[in-house]
Amino acid sequence: MSHPQATQALFSYGTLQLEQVQLATFGRKLDTRPDVLAGYRLEQLEIHDPEVIRTSGKRHHPIIRASGNPADSVAGAVLLLTDAELQAADGYEVAAYSRVAVQLVSGRQAWVYAAAPQPAAEA
């Protein structure tokens, strides 16, 4: 059953798919649909935020980076969120992640948390 104001689609490939993270972050289990994001590769990120580690039970979280190679793909699920829940997801993710709009293999438009752009080194 869809939440009445769940108008935001968020592609998750990691801890936001976990029921305990959804309950702690959104107060409910979300509607999810399997999907795939092409042109990205999966890496691991060490988390230092104790609240995020406590909620997920994991010190290392997956993170994706655009690879530019359409053969690279990341499997995950589309989560259907309200605007307020999308803001809660922004609060859950640490600064290493940046929310970007993508098109999934299914054709659905969704948000995804990918590796934040690295600041250019000072010359």
Which range, of 14-18, 68-72, 100-104, 115-119, averages the lowest pLDDT? Answer: 115-119
Using the 8-state DSSP alphabet, how is residue 105 labeled?
A: T
Q: CA-to-CA distance for 123 and 120, rounded, in angstroms?
A: 9
User: Under CATH, what is the fold of the domain 8-115?
Assistant: Hypothetical upf0131 protein ytfp (3.10.490)
pLDDT at 3 (0 to 100) = 57
Do 76 and 63 contact (CB within 8 A), yes or no?
A: no
Q: Residue holding tokens 């972050």?
A: 25
pLDDT of residue 105: 96
pLDDT category, 93, cuts 50, 70, 90?
Answer: confident
The token duo for 47 is 């988390």
Tell me if 105 sits within 8 A of 36, measured CB to CB: yes
- Mean pLDDT for 66-93 is 93
Question: Could you state, in order of their start, the residue ranges of all structural domains in the chain?
Answer: 8-115
